[in-house]
Amino acid sequence: MKTEKIYFGAAYYDEYMPVSRVEEDMRLMKEAGMNVIRVAESTWSTWEPRDGEFDFSSLHRMLRGAKKYGIDVIVGTPTYAIPPWLARKYPDILADTHAGPSKYGHRQNMDITHPGYRFHCERIIRALLEQVQEYDNVIGFQLDNETKPYDTCGPRAQALFKKWLMDKFGSVENLNQAFGLAYWSNCLGCWDDLPDVRGTINNSLAAEFEAFQRNLVTEFLLWQRAIVDEYRRPEQFVTHNFDYEWRDYSHALQPDADQFQAAEAVTVAGCDIYHPTAAYLTGAEISFGGDLARGLKHGQNFFVLETQAQGPVGRLPWPGQLRLQAFAHLANGANMVEYWHWHSIHNAIESHWKGVLSHDFTPGAVYQEVKTIGADFARIGSHLVNLKRHSEVAFVVSNRSLTGLKHSYAFAGPNYGDILRWLYDAFFRLNISVDIVDDSVRDFSAYKLVVTPGLYCTEDSLLEALREYVKKGGHLLSSFRSFFCDENVKIRTSCQPGGLTDVFGMTYDNFTVPVEVPGAREWMELLRPENAQTLRHYAHPAYQDYACVTHHRFGKGSAAYIGTMLEDRELERLLTELLPKMGIGVPEYRWPLIIKEGTNGQQKKVRYVLNYSAKENQYRAPENCRELLTDRKVRRGETLDIAPWGLAVLE
């Protein structure tokens, strides 16, 4: 979504405060150049302390305080954490999961299919939205927060799942055949035979249940959107805080929602991006999360609704890093950077996940650095907002593949997120811009190269689309495990790579785990080139007859295949050699110097030069331009010193 300015701010919770500070906080924010807060999304029990009894005094305090200081507000619906009285009212409202029934206390533990939950959600949303009608500084709404199915699989969910299967397969015979339920005597004789899915050893059934669960997220957000639409003004946006696979930080594709599908519920994509910092800040998570968020609405600008200020213990940024991070978000196409959160919380599970201010509310070192960012955004934001990115490469991501790989029986082998990030990060380090699309896409003609990391489960129509794409001149780069199964996680009976042996000019039917095979990691497919060129061999006598990487001209394009998880440096070398043959130039600079380019709202080219390093690095300007932060002209060929954890923005 295009916006008039860069939004810069933080989540704000007056209701968490042991003391009343709205006035003081808004003043400090204003001083730091902040212009937006997000409120209300977590605290239903404050807005409705008892069933049907509402108290929005704290909300009004925040909205009025913000208005006074010219700060805009995003209002979140508070439905992702239910109040105690609601849990008490419906003993079955908490999700029954693979790990058994959820307990009250945590957020995100309810059954989002529960009619009582839906009734009370709707009532609190309507009550809340009525309250905020009067405020012109409310610029938009956030639906719920990081919505998931919370692994709901109690009787209600299983009944819905049975219906889902009946609709999809029609008869148990079709289901038995599609999922191979004959194995270990799991064939259904009738629909009532469908067992509790939690015990299944059939990966197709398990994966289908997760697809069903993910669909609940889309359905739930669309339902909230419809309610919000009754209240919002046309200029108010609707967003959602999409978060990613969590490994103590935002790592890869979210397993529990089909975000590309769910994004239909919003007018602008929002996301969480949390990442390692201090010695471990690489920029890869910021880049990945941004590319993915930008992809959700097909290249439109997005919001970073949450990112870290001080963050959890051990994530305190080093001097300069906070600035670097903020600009890096813009470089990916973000129009908003919001910290989670303003002040640090004095109680409960996230009290050590610290905000811009520490618990003592003094404007400390982090606040001071935030202030410089705010000042810069205010000064040069009009050159940065609405950045349009251009990529020649598309990464295809797939929740079906993620789930399919998860449930594949293997003593070894990397999971989906590992494979995705292994390939993505190499492109990142090589400064090759990529878009991220999902596996529903059939028209890849906008891209020179399509990359499929671990695209394990595919519909036939996607195989066909890729064949046509290559035939017409496109290039395809696929990793091991791609195309192995159909969309039901049934392994294909055709020769591997599933149905595309002509395209790759190669086939294989054996795979194993590398042991003392130099450069190979985790998994290796023993490729047998037919017409393909072998780019790499496995350096081990037992595997001397096989290829490790192949490349094949097919139609007007070409297709390459990587049979193992090459060591990172080796993968970079391979790409540097291979990509030019696929029409993709490999830039001169490499990580830790990261270059991101785009076109700004004034149709000028903007280039970010980000130094992810504790050492100064040099960058030679490729053309005459202006460095925006220092507001000075730079001549073509001039060398810029990029400070440790520093950056330049060239227009």
Q: Which of residues 296-335 bind its own copies (CB under 8 A)?
A: 310, 312-316, 318-319
Rounded Cα distance, 286 and 274, in Å: 8
45 lies in the site for its own copies, by CB under 8 A: yes
Contacts of 616-623 with CB under 8 Å at 24 or more apart are 616/641, 616/642, 616/643, 616/644, 616/646, 617/592, 617/593, 617/641, 617/642, 618/642, 619/589, 619/593, 619/595, 619/648, 621/650
Candidate ranges 225-233, 237-245, 354-362, 436-444; the one touching its own copies (CB under 8 A): 354-362
Token output for 381: 């934001």
- E-assigned strand segments in 530-638: 533-537, 547-554, 557-562, 593-599, 605-611, 617-620, 625-627, 632-634
Candidate ranges 63-71, 278-286, 459-467, 547-555; the one touching its own copies (CB under 8 A): 278-286
What does R_g of the chain's alpha carbons equal in angstroms? Answer: 26
Q: DSSP letters of 107-142?
A: SS-B-TT-HHHHHHHHHHHHHHHHHHTT-TTEEEEE
In the range 364-383, which residues lie near its own copies by CB under 8 A?
A: 364-366
What minimum distance in Å lies between the beta carbon of 16 and its own copies?
Answer: 6
Contact with its own copies (CB under 8 A): which of 24, 130, 248, 616? 248
257 lies in the site for its own copies, by CB under 8 A: no
What minimum distance in Å lies between the beta carbon of 371 and its own copies?
Answer: 16
Q: Torsion over CA of 408, 411, 413 and 415, rounded to 10 degrees?
A: 50
In the range 569-608, which residues lie near its own copies by CB under 8 A?
A: none
Of 18 and 585, the one with the shorter C-beta distance to its own copies is 18
Candidate ranges 256-264, 332-340, 345-353, 586-594; the one touching its own copies (CB under 8 A): 345-353
53 lies in the site for its own copies, by CB under 8 A: yes
Token output for 41: 């999304």
E strand or H helix at 213 = helix 203-229
Candidate ranges 26-34, 83-91, 369-377, 393-401; the one touching its own copies (CB under 8 A): 83-91
Half-sphere exposure of 607 (CA within 13 A, CB side): 17
Coil, strand, or helix at residue 193?
A: helix
What minimum distance in Å lies between the beta carbon of 56 and its own copies?
Answer: 14
SS (H, E, C) 270-301: EEEECCCCHHHCCCHHHHHHHHHHHHHCCCCC
With contact defined as beta carbons under 8 Å apart, do 298 and 340 qualify?
no
43 lies in the site for its own copies, by CB under 8 A: yes
Contact with its own copies (CB under 8 A): which of 91, 189, 234, 585? 189
Of 378 and 513, the one with the shorter C-beta distance to its own copies is 513
118 lies in the site for its own copies, by CB under 8 A: no
Of 45 and 415, the one with the shorter C-beta distance to its own copies is 45
SS (H, E, C) 171-184: CHHHHHHHHCCCHH
Candidate ranges 213-221, 274-282, 470-478, 628-636; the one touching its own copies (CB under 8 A): 274-282
Of 13 and 302, the one with the shorter C-beta distance to its own copies is 13
Half-sphere exposure of 339 (CA within 13 A, CB side): 31
In the range 437-496, which residues lie near its own copies by CB under 8 A?
A: 489-496
Of 195 and 622, the one with the shorter C-beta distance to its own copies is 195
Of 153 and 625, the one with the shorter C-beta distance to its own copies is 153
Contact with its own copies (CB under 8 A): which of 279, 585, 603, 632? 279
**Phi, psi for 138 (deg, rounded to 5):** -80, 110
Contact with its own copies (CB under 8 A): which of 27, 30, 60, 359? 359
* Centroid of chain to Cα 448: 23
105 lies in the site for its own copies, by CB under 8 A: yes
Of 83 and 381, the one with the shorter C-beta distance to its own copies is 83
Contact with its own copies (CB under 8 A): which of 16, 447, 480, 619? 16
Coil, strand, or helix at residue 488?
A: coil
Contact with its own copies (CB under 8 A): which of 116, 180, 299, 583? 180
In the range 536-575, which residues lie near its own copies by CB under 8 A?
A: 541-542
In the range 611-630, which residues lie near its own copies by CB under 8 A?
A: 614
